[in-house]
Amino acid sequence: MTTADPSLESLARIEHPEYILEKMQPFLELMVYYHCAMLEVKTKLEVLDKGLALHSSRNPFESIKCRLKTPGSIIEKLKRKGYPLSLSSIEENLNDIAGVRVICSFPDDIYDLADSLCAQDDVTVLERKDYIQNPKPNGYRSLHLVIQIPIFLSDGKKEMRVEVQFRTIAMDFWASLEHKVKYKKDICNPEQVAEELRQCAEAISLMDQRMQEIRNSIA
Ligand code: 0O2
């Protein structure tokens, strides 16, 4: 046999881990950059939290959750949106590889924190979606920002995008249940569940406002 069978050739390569590593290395490096950017944003928020706590003796957020999108879900999203499967396409087209979720007690804290973050010299705001002022039809509420920040590497700086979601504890509780419902296939009365969830989102929003008023009255 003079020409190599391509499928056998690729099988043979899999036996050489250095081949896989060589192919994976640029992707893994990009993920490390996103990880660094995510940590940078988390630190910025923690510094803001400490600063605001000093001046007002309150902590604007309850918790922060960070996550990197998995390789499988990166590929799924690129395919679904019709974007090329390449590293430059990931950087150009996907804003949520690095995600930071900030859970606040009160709605006003969301806007105070978000405004302070956006006002920083090295933060560029690329996108702002206010689903608190303009909730989604299903009742989803959160403030979403896509920001770009520099990370400083041994050979220079690189601008990276991070998606930051701000919610109250109550909005987060709602979103996690709604997320579970969305991915559950065997619900027998989906319209009724969706309507119940929409009503709960309204109730939660009213409760958030009342809690805010109580906090304002005792501040
Ligand atoms: P995951 O696993 O949380 O990352 P985009 O992804 O930006 O192209 P879109 O819809 O314009 O698409 O983005 P948007 O509106 O900013 O929402 C993106 C993220 O917000 C979602 O990420 C969810 O985390 C959250 N989100 C948006 N809408 C809803 C909703 O109706 N219910 C819940 N529970 N969460 C929502 P992913 O990629 O879907 O998932």
pLDDT digits (tens, 9 = 90+) for 65-118: 999 999 999 999 999 999 999 999 999 999 999 999 999 999 999 999 999 999
Residue 165 CA, ligand 1 centroid: distance in Å: 10
Domains in the chain: how many in total?
Answer: 1
Handedness of CA 169, 58, 47, 110 (dihedral sign): positive
Q: Per the domain annotation, does 1 fall within a domain?
A: no
pTM of the prediction?
A: 0.89
Q: Which atom of ligand 1 is nearest to the CA of 165?
A: 20
Cα gap 149→95, rounded to integer Å: 12
Is 93 part of a structural domain of the chain?
Answer: yes
User: What number does the ligand 1 atom closest to the CA of 175 have?
Assistant: 34
Catalytic residues: 163
**Residue 60 DSSP SS3:** coil
Q: Residue 97 is part of which domain span?
A: 6-218
Pick the range with the lowest mean pLDDT from 22-31, 129-138, 197-206: 22-31
Task: Judge if the beta carbon of residue 96 lies within 6 A of ligand 1.
Answer: yes
Q: Is residue 53 situated within a structural domain? A: yes
20-56 tens-digit pLDDT: 667 788 999 999 999 999 999 999 999 999 988 888 7
Q: Whose CA is nearest to atom 29 of ligand 1?
A: 140
Q: Determine the distance separating the centroid of ligand 1 and the alpha carbon of 141, expressed in angstroms.
A: 11
Compute the C-alpha angle 184/185/190, nearest 5°: 85
CATH number of the domain where residue 74 is located: 3.30.460.10
62 in a domain, yes or no? yes
What is the model's pLDDT at position 14?
60
